[in-house]
């Protein structure tokens, strides 16, 4: 093989390797960017959004294998129904959190939750509960 053909062949191989590295680099940047950019559907609900999208509505909630029906009433009361019993309590909005105190039922206590609206219209609570609006 002549030196010119060999040199040309080596340059093509080098260019091919560089192009392959560039493809991998661009793909890696695209993947990292996708993980870093949050879509609007993945933003935490504000207090105003909680007030209009959660309060005054009934939901079917699921967390693992547990199921619960929840009603966050506009008067600040909360009712829940589970397969093992019912419960009542109160709620308040604190910053962008829905703070709930259950005074009766199978799971008494207090916790403050944030919510993210999912692309399918359900709400994901910070405690792992997924709420589906009951029409």
Residues 69-82 have pLDDT tens digits of 999 999 999 999 99
**Residues 100, 49 within the same domain:** yes
Q: Smallest Cα–Cα separation from 41: which of 120, 130, 101?
A: 120
**Residues 96, 111 within the same domain:** yes
Indicate the number of domains in the chain. 2
Give this prediction's pTM: 0.67
**Residues 54, 92 within the same domain:** yes
Distances (CA, A) of 65 to 68, 84, 97: 10, 13, 25
Digit-coded pLDDT (tens) for 75-134? 999 999 999 899 999 999 999 999 999 999 887 899 999 999 999 999 999 999 999 999
């Amino acid at each position: 093989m002549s030196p010119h053909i060999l040199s040309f062949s080596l340059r093509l191989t080098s260019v091919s390797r560089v192009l392959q590295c560039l493809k991998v680099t661009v793909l890696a940047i695209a993947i990292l960017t996708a993980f870093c950019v949050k879509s609007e559907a993945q933003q935490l609900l504000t207090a105003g959004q909680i007030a209009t999208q959660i309060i005054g509505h009934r939901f079917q909630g699921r967390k693992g294998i547990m199921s619960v029906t929840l009603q966050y009433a506009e008067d600040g009361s909360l009712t829940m129904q589970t397969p093992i019993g019912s419960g009542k309590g109160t709620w308040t909005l604190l910053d962008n959190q829905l703070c709930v105190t259950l005074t009766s039922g199978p799971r008494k206590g207090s916790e403050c939750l944030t919510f993210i609206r999912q692309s399918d219209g359900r709400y994901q609570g910070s405690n792992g509960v997924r709420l589906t609006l009951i029409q």
